[in-house]
Amino acid sequence: MAFHTRSRISRMLPRLAAVCLALALCGPRALAQDASGGQQMPAAVIGVINLEKVERSSIAWESLRKQINDRRALLQKEVEKLQQELQRKAQEIESQRALLTPEALAAKAREFQAERADLQEQTNLRKQRLDAAYGAARGQIRTALNEVLVGLAKERGLNMILVAGEEASSVYFARNELFVDDVALARLNKAITAVTLPEDAPAAGAAGQ
């Protein structure tokens, strides 16, 4: 009997309803009343999905990957241009060292340090905004995948979907036939083919150059 094994039992993905889509489905699989009037828990009907595999195999993920790589390359180009300008200013200050008074040299040094600190701050801010944009765009894929899984669970009468994968897993082992990866990927590709990476503000000093 083929099994899928995972060792990271304790790591749980805090998305898609905290790893499990525990769907209390109505209808024939709803909680049944026993003779004493109490409620009986329904039998577990389980599916398993490798979230990272499905997500990163999707058409929408390729759209996101290209956009984020292009945006990172653009940011790197802008930062390198500003760094070159700072380097030019540093060389200019050094070439004037013998001509400037100590006070004037100190003033230019302070101005240079302030510009360098501002560039570092703006670079960090741009990276944080880009990370946030990436998270928002990835959330579009996760939202679509969540809807796919909810529909799949209702269709197959599943009341629980467990997550397997490298980033996080709630599965120690599972029979291969419990996995819903292939059908989930096919439906995800029909549901969403592209994502929109939110725009980011230009780096300080880059506008108009």
Tokens of 4: 């899928």
Domain limits of the chain? 3-191
Tens-digit pLDDT profile for residues 20-41: 444 433 344 444 444 455 567 7
Tens-digit pLDDT profile for residues 77-116: 999 999 999 999 999 999 998 888 999 999 999 999 999 9
d(CA 89, CA 112): 8
d(CA 101, CA 107): 10
User: Mean pLDDT, to the nearest integer, of 53-79?
Assistant: 96
d(CA 157, CA 25): 8
- What's the angle, vertex CA 119, arms to CA 118 and CA 123, rounded to 5? 120
Give the end-to-end CA distance of the chain in Å, rounded to a whole number: 64
User: Mean pLDDT, to the nearest integer, of 126-139?
Assistant: 94
